[in-house]
Chains A and B, each alone.
Chain A
Amino acid sequence: MAAELKKKTTKKIKLFINNREVETKPDSTIIQAADSLGIFIPRMCYFPGLTPPGSCRICQVEIKGMNKLELACKTQIKEGMEIFTDTDKVLKAQKSVLELLLIDHPLDCPICDQAGECILHDYFMKIGLYKSRFIENKVQKPKVQDYGKYIVYDGERCILCTRCIRFLDEVSKTSELALVERGNKTYISIFPGKKIDNPYSLNVTEICPVGALTSKDFRFKCRVWFLQSTPSICPGCSRGCNIFIDHFKNEAYRYRARPNMKVNKHWLCDDGRMTFKIIKDENRITSPMMKKDGKLNKISLQKAYKTIVDKFKALNKKDTKKIYGLASPFASNEDNYLFVKFMREIVGTENIDYRISDYSGFSDDILICKDHTPNSNGAENMGAIPGKEGKSFADLISPDNDSRIKILYVMDHDLLKIMGKEQFEIFFSRIDTLILQSSYPNSTVEYADIFLPTTLWAESSGTFTNGFKRIQEFSKALEPVGETKTHWEHFIELSKPLGKTFKFKTSREITREIAKNVKGYLRLSEGKIAERGVLVKK
């Protein structure tokens, strides 16, 4: 029965698009079928993941046996259907819709943020290219309307595709926008006194096909044709939403959602989108520091490494039991893997943990997960938990524990902030040497004996394992700032003078070793990780 059902649902159907015989999934609309086959059909109101209203009328196609043109976004495909997407009749209809949408459009492209990724602009070059026949006065509509924390609306640029309204109705389910007025006076508005106030508001500017809804954060910052896009993963929570980091001259300007049906579909949350701000955070420390006479001073990386090495070398074998390492759920699998390897194989301690705080926060049933770190699962899988006879962080800070700590090696965690000043200072009084290696701004730096500046996810490549055990890859978008290096590069530098050189040159090489050594990660050895990620094998 189950097999039969499966067979039924996977059976493909045959049809013809532009006389080309194609096979595709049943239960698709023409536009879905065409998309899956790489056949271009223009669209404005259609957006995957939202109910098509069929109102823009630009996706009309010809179907053999039908008198009128039909909407590709609304018409279900049928076995043997003969569809034409490029006949004169179709092209004329598309051109006419475009012309009609452009008559009242302000054509203020030189000052419009959407220029370069505007559907009107792109389609005009692709299917328009007519001489304007319109000589009337244009309709005037509300402009520069403040619709929310991040959102500005320009009614004259709006083509009333209603993608934004449908997103707020169907995905965020907050329905802050509605159509007001009628006919060619129609525009999109918020309700009196109510702004777009939901954790997903910036999706409306991203899916807006024209410059009607723009992001207050991004507008006027950079022309989009300058931007380069690098695929990455949002570090905001354990969902691991797939993103593009759009950057120019080594500066990130925005994220765009990278569709992944298994993870974030087509969306991102606003907090996630803003995580790139941390790259330029003024509190981020980008040079190595060392404490001398109670004061932190900049030193060279070499000096910092040497000091750390000397600290380790100064300890005798018995003392290794008093060395503790805190791995990071904010760092990549590769970083954590090498940290764990460094602590176990070189330092020789089993006192390793990553569970310093639960880092929990707001969550919902759309995207945002309770765990606000990107890689807790990965840190655990990489072995960042106490081994046999090892002590956990909870053991270490328990009130009846007053044992000395020879070295506490911390990745990323801001212990001062997590524990509070009073508790942290009691804890700190037990520590001989505090080594802190942090990507993020970190208030504990004032207490550190040695600080190593570290890159953020956007400045490195690697993998995260999200809260649903999906391993996903991110690529380096930006060159590291200052003297930052990746966590794993620091461990490579430290490994050599301590007698056992790690021979990794790229994060990919570490990934391959992870595939070999970490249970469930074998699929990473296949080389490139699938775009939608791979699941940790049970």
Chain B
Amino acid sequence: MNSGKKDKMEKVLLKNIDKPNSYNIETYMSSGGYKAIEKALKEYSPDQIIDIVKKSNLRGRGGAGFPTGVKWSFMPKKSDKPKYLICNADEGEPGTFKDRILLELDPHMLIEGMIISAFAIGARYSFIYIRGEFMLGGKRCETAIQEAKEKGFLGENILESGFNHEIYVHYGAGAYICGEETSLMNSLEGKRGYPRIRPPFPAAYGVFGNPTTVNNVETLANVPHIIEKGVDWYLSIGPEKNNGPKLLSVSGPVKKPGVYEVPMGIPLRKVIFDLCGGMLSGKILKAIIPGGSSTPMLTMDDLDVHMDFDSLAKAGSMLGSGGVIVIDDSFCIVRAVKILTDFYKHESCGQCTPCREGLGWLKRIMDRIENGEGREEDLDLLLDICKDIEGHTICPLADAAIPPIRSSIEKFRDEYLYHIREKECMI
């Protein structure tokens, strides 16, 4: 088992969560919280902060892995319109539950990150767009905002820097699509959660038509640590261009499922067999979806892949949101993919043709195969439809529905064929 020095790391994002009342401002401050904001506002200019974050190689933790500092630099320096920061807390990718931990147990880390980020991009107001079901997380954020305001970290003239900032919490209404940043903005505006066509990009024309940056919870929670401990410290964690700590949410038949903070680049094998204590007794590992439901499946053969953006891409999958879904040999792959396809079909907003119609078609074929009414030619048909949909839609939702189908047909074709020929499950 690979357990090199590089895989060990002091906790950064989860350092407070085991403390009693970890969500209170006192707890957060007693472990050095809100120090970074003082440093950021007093020692650096907004441009310098953007530069620091660029150099840190912090990449978006929502799934796409886009460099955060670069994203910030797209915001216009001068703008007649107000600029906005939005924290995307609409965590909804199946298998992903890492932001929830931060929202419920350490909201101040997020808020500190948001204040610094807002300062960097020049946003007067920001929003936490939180998944509607996260009632506890939402309430904790609201309380935390109130506490931060009382301590002078939010409001007018923060720490006498001349910087003003307010944060508002907005609850989503249950649509997965609203985690996509442009439909999130439409939803925030009170409109139907339909993704917008880019260009214009949010940095030019975002929420209410104003320049907007949307960052994931975990991304923003990284920011105070980068400011406080510096770029060199951050670069010391994880492989090149994939730096920093990463939260993984592991689900499935492992002994200890849950959220783990790991250094980027940790081997998958170590996550499952070391951190999570291996498979439940009697269960044999069959497949791993490494980064939330939309990432291509891996098998036993891929256990030595390193959990970072570039390594997983090289292995034909994605780090995505870091939602590791473990599937054991007692679970039928066809059924697993049918469930996922069902999910994406259910959550398709219906705006553009390929997604609306294509996913409905894919779902019905998957249902048919699952029900023992499949035909062998259905596998090629599934792949063909995937090809027709891919890259032709307004947003990435449909593209996210394809990898489970495509990778499972590629890697578990035998299970599909058994279903089709024997009209029942292989398991």
At the interface, yes or no: A401 with Cβ under 8 Å from chain B? no
- Measured CB to CB, the closest approach of chain A to B262, in angstroms, equals 34
- Interface secondary structure of A, over-half rule: loop
Whether B356 contacts A68 by the Cβ 8 Å rule is no
Using CB atoms, name the residue of chain B closest to A159: B353
> For residue A57, which residues in chain B have a CB less than 8 angstroms away from its CB?
352-354, 392-393
Closest chain-B Cβ to A95's Cβ sits at a distance in Å of: 9
The reply to whether B392 and A182 form a contact with Cβ atoms under 8 Å apart is no
Question: Could you tell me the distance between the alpha carbons of A93 and B388 in the complex, rounded to whole angstroms?
Answer: 7
What are the residues of chain A within 8 A of B394 when measuring CB–CB?
54-55
Q: Are A139 and B349 in contact (CB-based, < 8 A)?
A: no
| Interchain CB contact under 8 A, A96 and B356 | no
CB of A96 within 8 A of CB of B361, answer no
Cα separation A101 to B356 with both chains bound (whole Å)? 9
Smallest CB-CB separation from A95: which chain B residue?
A: B388
> Is B392 in contact with A69, judged by CB distance below 8 angstroms?
yes
- Chain A interface size, as a band, is 20 to 34
B358 touches A68 (CB 8 A): no
Complex interface: chain A residues within 8 A of B360 (CB): 103-104, 139, 183-184
Are B352 and A183 within 8 A (Cβ)? Answer: no
Q: Which residues of B contact A137 (CB under 8 A)?
A: 364
Write the A397-417 contact mask toward B (1 if CB under 8 angstroms, else 0): 000000000000000000000
Docked complex: A168-185 residues within 8 A CB-CB of B: 179, 181-185
A159 to chain B, nearest CB (A): 8
Which of the residues A69, A101, A133 comes within 8 Å of B353, measured between beta carbons?
A101
A182→B349 CA distance, assembly (Å)? 5
Contact of A71 with B by CB under 8 A = yes
B60-68, B77-85, B243-251, B340-348 - interface stretch = B340-348
Minimal beta-carbon separation of A93 from chain B (angstroms): 6
Q: Which residues of B contact A185 (CB under 8 A)?
A: 350
> Judging by beta carbons under 8 Å apart, are B392 and A184 in contact?
no
What is the CA–CA distance of A81 and B347 in the complex, to the nearest angstrom? 37
Report the Cα distance A97→B355, complex, angstroms.
10
Give Cα A184–Cα B197 distance, bound, in whole angstroms. Answer: 20
Beta-carbon contact of B197 and A136 below 8 Å: no
Residues of B within 8 A of A60 (CB): 392
Q: A69-B392, A133-B381 are in contact. Are A74 and B353 (CB under 8 A)?
A: no
How many Å lie between the Cα of A134 and that of B346 in the bound state? 20
Docked-complex contact A136 and B346, CB < 8 angstroms: no
Q: Is the CB of B361 within 8 A of A136?
A: yes
Shortest Cβ distance from A70 into chain B, in angstroms? 11
**In the assembly, what is the distance between CA of A81 and CA of B171, in Å?**
44
A320 at the interface (CB under 8 A from B): no
Checking B175, B357, B365, B393 against A184 with a beta-carbon cut-off of 8 angstroms, the contacting residue is B357
User: Nearest Cβ in chain B — how far from A134, in angstroms?
Assistant: 7
Establish whether residues A96 and B354, one from each chain, have CB atoms under 8 Å apart when the complex forms.
yes
Q: A74-B197, A179-B192 are in contact. Are A58 and B356 (CB under 8 A)?
A: no
Chain B residues 130-155 with CB under 8 Å of chain A are: none
- In the bound complex, residues from chain B placing their C-beta under 8 Å from that of A99 are 388
A304–B353 Cα distance when bound, in Å, is 66
Please give me the residue from chain B that is nearest to A134 by CB atom.
Answer: B361
B354 interface neighbour in A74, A92, A97, A182, Cβ under 8 Å: A97
Q: Which residue of chain B lies nearest to A185 when distances are taken between CB atoms in the complex?
A: B350
Q: How far is the CA of A137 from the CA of B358 in the complex (A)?
A: 14
Expressed in whole angstroms, the Cα–Cα distance for A133 and B394 within the complex equals 25
Q: Decide if A100 touches B391 in the complex (CB within 8 Å).
A: no
Query: Which residues of A have CB within 8 Å of B365?
Result: 136
Are A103 and B348 in contact, with the CB atoms below 8 A?
no
A55 touches B352 (CB 8 A): yes
Known: A57-B393, A136-B364. A97 touches B353 (CB 8 A): yes
- Least CB distance from A103 to B in Å reads 6
A100-B357 in contact given A54-B394, A57-B393 (Cβ < 8 Å): yes
Interface residues of B in 334-379 (CB under 8 A from A): 345-354, 356-361, 364-365, 368
B387 to chain A, nearest CB (A): 9
Whole-angstrom distance between the alpha carbons of A68 and B391 in the complex? 7
Q: Mark A53-77, 1 if CB is under 8 A from B, else 0.
A: 1111110100000001101001000
* CA gap between A183 and B356 in the complex, in Å: 5
**B173 to A: closest C-beta gap in Å:** 12
Per the bound structure, the CA–CA distance linking A159 and B357 in Å amounts to: 10
Determine whether the beta carbon of B350 is less than 8 Å from that of A186: yes
Task: Tell me whether A160 is interfacial, beta carbon within 8 Å.
Answer: yes
Given A101-B353, A183-B350, A136 and B392 contact (CB-CB distance below 8 Å): no
Q: Which single residue of chain A is at the shortest CB-CB distance from B360?
A: A184
Give the nearest-CB partner of B367 in chain A.
A136
Residues in B whose Cβ lies below 8 Å from that of A68: 391
Q: Which of A465-501 contact B (CB under 8 A)?
A: none
Contacts A100-B361, A139-B360: A160 and B391 contacting too (C-beta < 8 A)? no
B352 to chain A, nearest CB (A): 5
Given A133-B381, A179-B350, A184-B345: A160 and B356 within 8 A (CB)? Answer: yes
Shortest Cβ gap from A364 to chain B (Å): 27
Q: 1/0 per position for A24-62, CB-CB distance to B under 8 A? A: 000000000000000000000000000001111110100
Whether B197 lies near A182 (C-beta < 8 A) is no
In the complex, which residues 222-250 of chain B have their Cβ closer than 8 Å to any Cβ of chain A? none
| Least distance between B237 CB and chain A CB atoms (Å) | 33
Residues of chain A contacted by B356 (CB below 8 angstroms): 160, 183-184, 186
Q: Which residues of B contact A (CB under 8 A)?
A: 175, 192, 197, 345-354, 356-361, 364-365, 368, 381, 384, 388, 391-394
Other A-B pairs beyond A137-B364, A179-B192, 17, CB < 8 Å:
A56-B353, A57-B352, A57-B354, A74-B197, A96-B354, A96-B392, A97-B353, A97-B392, A100-B361, A136-B365, A160-B350, A160-B356, A181-B350, A182-B175, A183-B349, A183-B350, A184-B345
**Top-4 shortest CB links A-B:** A184-B360, A186-B350, A100-B357, A96-B388
A/B interface sample: 30 pairs, CB < 8 A: A55-B353, A56-B352, A58-B353, A69-B391, A71-B197, A92-B388, A96-B354, A96-B392, A99-B388, A100-B353, A100-B354, A100-B361, A101-B357, A103-B360, A103-B361, A104-B357, A136-B365, A137-B364, A139-B360, A160-B356, A179-B192, A182-B175, A182-B347, A182-B348, A183-B348, A183-B350, A183-B356, A184-B345, A184-B348, A186-B356
